[in-house]
Amino acid sequence: MADFSVTLPSGATWTPTFVQKINEDTCIGCGRCFRVCPRGVLELVGLDEEGEHVALAGDDDEDDEYEKKVMTIAHQELCIGCTACARICPKKCYTHAAAPG
């Protein structure tokens, strides 16, 4: 089966690739991807010693409940496959894939 693709006004074919995975080992929690995502797909969380995700309080209170911050995919179903997140990520954390057509 061919991948899902669209025909642009120019006549060119474009195949969106949708967010699949963010590498938590390489992510530095910089938030750049969050700021460029137009669809509210992403969410910054804490990563504790056991590798579990911890919700951030959002009040900038620094505490010791997590080792570092990492970006996560909170709403994968909202992704439109623009790949803006992958293009701005300085650590190449993203894996994207086309959808079945």
- Closer CB to ligand SF4, 22 or 47, in the complex: 22
**Cα distances (angstroms) measured from residue 79 to each of 37, 48, 95, 100:** 9, 27, 13, 15
Q: Does 56 bind ligand SF4 (CB under 6 A)?
A: no
Residue 19 Cβ, how far from ligand SF4 at the closest point, in Å?
4
Q: What are the residues binding ligand SF4 (CB under 6 A)?
A: 19, 22, 27-33, 36-39, 41-42, 71, 79-85, 88-91, 93
